[in-house]
Amino acid sequence: MDHFTYGALTPLLSFALSCAGCGAGLSCTARARVTSGVARTVWLLLGSVAIGGTGIWVMHFVAMLGFSVQGAQIRYDVSTTIASMLLAVAVVGVGLFLVHRPAGGTAALLTGGIVAGLGIAVMHYLGMAAMHVGVDIAYDPLLVVTSVVIAMAAATGALWLSARVRGAGAGAVATVVMGLAVSGMHYTGMAAMRITSYRLLGTPIEAPVTGLPATQFLVPLMGGIVVGTVALLIVAAAWPTAAEMEAQAEFDAWTERQRERQRSARRWPARPGYHV
Both 192 and 255 in a single domain?
Answer: no
Task: Tell me 216's DSSP state.
Answer: T
Same domain membership, residue 226 and residue 197: yes
Sign of CA dihedral 20, 22, 28, 30: negative
* Chain centroid to CA 119: 11
* Gap between the Cα atoms of 106 and 211, Å rounded: 43
Give me the helix-helix angle, 141-164 and 168-191, nearest 10°. Answer: 170
**Are 94 and 31 members of one domain?**
yes
CA distance 210 to 60: 21
128 and 185 co-located in one domain: yes
SS3 139: strand
Q: Verify that 201 and 84 share a domain, yes or no.
A: yes
Residue range 112-123, pLDDT digits in tens: 889 999 999 999
Q: Measuring CA to CA, which residue among 62, 94, 69 is closest to residue 183? A: 62
Determine the pLDDT at residue 33: 85
pLDDT at 222: 82
Domain extent, residue 47, equals 9-239
Neighbours of 242 (CB within 10 A): 23
Look at residue 199 in the predicted model and tell me its pLDDT.
47
The sign of the CA dihedral 52, 58, 63, 68 is: positive
Residue 1 in any domain: the answer is no
CA distances, 147 to each of 20, 125, 140, 181, 193 (Å): 22, 10, 11, 11, 12
Is the residue at 143 inside a domain?
yes
Looking at the structure, tell me whether residues 232 and 252 fall in a common domain. no
Tell me: do 59 and 120 sit in the same domain.
yes
Indicate whether 16 and 52 sit together in one domain: yes
Residue 250 lies in a domain: yes
> Is 2 domain-assigned?
no
Count of structural domains within the chain: 2
Using DSSP's 3-state secondary structure scheme, residue 186 falls into: helix
pLDDT tens digits, 205-238: 555 556 777 777 778 888 888 888 888 878 777 7
Q: Are residues 36 and 155 in the same domain?
A: yes
Same structural domain, 132 and 95: yes
Whether 52 is covered by a domain: the verdict is: yes
- The 10s digit of each residue's pLDDT in 24-54 is 888 888 888 888 889 889 999 999 999 999 9
Going by DSSP bridges, is the β-strand pair 137-139/131-132 parallel, antiparallel, or unpaired? unpaired
| Co-location of 179 and 209 in the same domain | yes
At 153-179, the pLDDT tens digits run 988 988 888 888 777 777 888 888 888
Q: Give alpha helix (H) positions in the chain.
A: 9-33, 37-48, 59-64, 78-99, 106-129, 141-164, 168-191, 218-238, 242-267
Predicted structure pTM score: 0.80
Confirm whether 77 is domain-assigned: yes
